[in-house]
Amino acid sequence: MNRIITFGTYDVLHIGHIKLLKRAKSLGSHLIVGVSSDELNRDKKGREPIYPLKSRLEIISSLKFVDEVFVEDSLDLKAEYITSHNADILVMGDDWEGRFDHLKKYCDVVYLPRTPSISTTEVIEIIKEKA
Ligand code: C2G
């Protein structure tokens, strides 16, 4: 059965993350998650994650439908990550639509619809307002 790989910061875990990971797992039998390092998150999002890498790795690996986690150090190492993990399908939310099509020579590439109106940034804003 298919080995699925996906990537993300997965900071302040929310339902959009859970729905993406569950749908990714439903496409195969083994789900591997590349969790972005704190430095990569700083490069991608221009801020420190709320939860440090160690916590984000433990949270994601504790999900029953996640089989394996590793540290994603760069957005440009996907071909290496895909081949070293023998992944058959790369799954990402469709905010990345088209961005990984060049990897189709290594594995299938599937973009899934994002869950609307939830993001780590929005959760942070809500907490700031309510606190
Ligand atoms: N996601 C989603 N719905 C949301 C929010 C996020 O489906 N409401 C998906 C994203 O599309 C992504 C995954 O959940 O596939 C993780 O989201 P982030 O932690 O924001 O990851 P991102 O910053 O997009 O990092 O190498 C790729 C990057 O590391 C992806």
Q: What is the pLDDT along the chain (131 residues), one digit of tens a residue?
A: 999 999 999 999 999 999 999 999 999 999 999 999 999 999 999 999 999 999 999 999 999 999 999 999 999 999 999 999 999 999 999 999 999 999 999 999 999 999 999 999 999 999 999 98
Query: Residue 88 gets which letter from DSSP?
Result: S
Shortest-distance Cα residue to atom 18 of ligand 1: 8
Q: List the CATH code of the domain at 3-130.
A: 3.40.50.620
Residue spans per domain, the chain:
3-130
Q: Residues enclosing ligand 1, CB less than 6 A?
A: 7-10, 16-17, 20, 36, 44, 72, 75, 92-93, 95, 114-115, 118-119
C-alpha–C-alpha distance, residues 98 and 104, integer Å: 11
pLDDT attached to residue 131: 87
Tokens of residue 123, six digits: 């959760």
For the CA of 96, the nearest atom of ligand 1: 11
